[in-house]
Structure 1
Amino acid sequence: MAAVLDPVRSFLVDRENAGDVLARERLLDRAMGEGRFKKSSEKLRRGRMPAEGLALVARDAAGHVIGTVRLWDVEAGVDGDGEGAPALLLGPLAVAPEHEGLGIGGALMRAALAEARDRGHGAVLLVGDPEYYERFGFFAEKARHLVMPGPFERRRFLALELKEGWLADAAGVLVPSGRRRIAAGPRKAA
């Protein structure tokens, strides 16, 4: 993905890098608060890395992180055989409060979905406000046979098929998949 500067709004959508982690976490704390760690979506993200190439940020003209979105590998509708449809879970999507209303969230969504499609993914799921996400093609109907691994509001559990019919046979609970985060072990004295 090439970084793209929006000339009208003066922000850039770019890949997240290691130097963005602290700024991203601070932005999420301000935009979403501590309650973000108690959500069912967090259970699917805990201990995992975002899907390859699918952690994006928006930067202002000075290079500061003002928006973030990540997508995570999941198995949608794991059945008794442990098989499910590979999919992505989107979230969190957040924009710094002082930059809301400038189209940054929409730009991040479009970039993330285009990158997911380019990488061959079949579907994206999320928990969010239908009033916002339906304009990107997300609908509760596509996720009707799927459940989150904890409390969630059915009307807010949405899906977008990047490949027609990808979720047609998916039914059951979402489980995490993909790369595990490597925990830093204890350091040995030199």
Structure 2
Amino acid sequence: MSDLSLTILAETANDAQAIERLHERTFGPGRFVLSAYRIREHVDHLLDLSFTARIGTLLVGSVRQLPVVVGETKALLLGPLTVEPPFRSRGVGRALLERALHDAKAKGHRLVLLVGDEAYYSRAGFKTVPQGRATMPGPVDYSRLLVAELVDGAFNGVSGAIRPDWASAK
């Protein structure tokens, strides 16, 4: 990010419309049939663990996290993480990801899951969920279901369906 002055800030309610437009441009209408979106339909993301990336006043990226459970274990579901195409490969996504994981750990969260590209997310400590350990509603490519332990050993013995954390649902 040496050539850009990037600011990472906690998402606010006022960011919702701009972020939705960013999701429309980068993911298109097909995003609503994905498993992660099925979970997002039922529980709101956490504003204090969701972030925007801006260059000046221009929104160039966003990441959200929402509360889920895997079986009976509390976790976060990260995503979507998106960056405006002209600003990709400049460290924006990495900065958003690092901030999201750092703040989640600082607030006592132990596990973060996502559906994504292991080659990209492994740099931040994500690993493929062992086959059969977790399930999601709807279609999902389980080779892309990843987990990061924010506390060593936090995923040991965890298994089951990934679903909204109803205790946190609004």
Scaled by the length of structure 1, the TM-score of the pair is 0.83
Spell out, residue by residue over 1:80-126, the C-alpha distance to the aligned partner (whole angstroms, 9 max, x if none).
xxxx1100000000001121111100000000000000000010000
Instruction: Say if 2:49 and 2:64, in contact at 8 Å, map to a contact too.
Output: yes
Q: What is the rounded CA distance, in whole Å, between the counterparts of 2:124 and 2:28 in structure 1?
A: 25
Instruction: Say if 2:42 and 2:164, in contact at 8 Å, map to a contact too.
Output: no
Identify if the C-alpha distance between structure 1 residues 134 and 179 changes in structure 2 by more than 3 Å, giving closer, same or farther.
Answer: same
Alpha-carbon offset, residue 180 of structure 1: 2.9
Q: What is the rounded CA distance, in whole Å, between the counterparts of 2:142 and 2:23 in structure 1?
A: 24
Instruction: Say if 2:12 and 2:47, in contact at 8 Å, map to a contact too.
Output: no
Aligned to 1:150: 138
Aligned to 2:9: 14
Instruction: Say if 1:13 and 1:59, in contact at 8 Å, map to a contact too.
Output: yes
* Counterpart code for 1:180: A
Correspondence 1:6-155 to 2 at 5 A:
8-51=3-46, 53-61=48-56, 63-76=57-70, 78=71, 84-141=72-129, 145-155=133-143
Alpha-carbon offset, residue 67 of structure 1: 0.3
- Counting aligned pairs with the same residue, the percent is 37
Alpha-carbon offset, residue 143 of structure 1: 7.1
Q: What is the rounded CA distance, in whole Å, between the counterparts of 2:129 and 2:104 in structure 1?
A: 21
Q: What is the rounded CA distance, in whole Å, between the counterparts of 1:142 and 1:123 in structure 2?
A: 15
Aligned to 2:151: 163
Aligned to 1:81: none
Q: What is the rounded CA distance, in whole Å, between the counterparts of 1:180 and 1:60 in structure 2?
A: 32
In the TM superposition, structure 1's runs of 4+ consecutive aligned residues that sit over 6 Å from their partners are none
Alpha-carbon offset, residue 8 of structure 1: 4.3
Q: What is the rounded CA distance, in whole Å, between the counterparts of 2:93 and 2:132 in structure 1?
A: 25
* Counterpart code for 2:121: Y
Unaligned runs of 5+ in 2: none
Greater C-alpha radius of gyration? 1
Instruction: Say if 1:142 and 1:159, in contact at 8 Å, map to a contact too.
Output: no
Identify if the C-alpha distance between structure 1 residues 45 and 65 changes in structure 2 by more than 3 Å, giving closer, same or farther.
Answer: same
Instruction: Say if 1:123 and 1:159, in contact at 8 Å, map to a contact too.
Output: yes
Q: Are 2:168 and 1:179 aligned?
A: yes
Unaligned runs of 5+ in 1: 1-5, 79-83, 182-190
Which of the pair is proportionally richer in helix? Answer: 2
Identify if the C-alpha distance between structure 1 residues 126 and 158 changes in structure 2 by more than 3 Å, giving closer, same or farther.
Answer: same
Q: How many residues align?
A: 169
Alpha-carbon offset, residue 7 of structure 1: 6.2
Q: What is the rounded CA distance, in whole Å, between the counterparts of 2:45 and 2:131 in structure 1?
A: 21
Q: What is the rounded CA distance, in whole Å, between the counterparts of 1:170 and 1:150 in structure 2?
A: 21
Spell out, residue by residue over 1:25-50, the C-alpha distance to the aligned partner (whole angstroms, 9 max, x if none).
11111111111111100111113221
**More displaced stretch, 137-146 vs 67-76:** 137-146
RMSD: 1.6
